[in-house]
Amino acid sequence: MAKSKTQSVIDDITEQIASGRLKPGERLLSTAEMCAHYGVSITVVRNAVQWLKAKGLVEGLSGVGVFVTEKE
Q: For 33-55, write each residue's pLDDT tens digit.
A: 999 999 999 999 999 999 999 99
DSSP count for the chain of H helices, then E strands = 3, 2
| pLDDT at residue 25 is higher than 60 | yes
Residue 36's Cβ-side half-sphere holds a number of Cα atoms within 13 Å equal to 5
Give this prediction's pTM: 0.91
Helices marked H in 29-72: 31-38, 42-54
What residue ranges define each of the domains in the chain, with the CATH number in brackets?
Answer: 5-67 (1.10.10.10)
Judged by DSSP in three states, 41 sits in coil
Q: Which of 61, 2, 47, 52 is nearest to 22 (CA)?
A: 52
Q: How far apart are CA 60 and CA 8, in angstroms?
A: 20
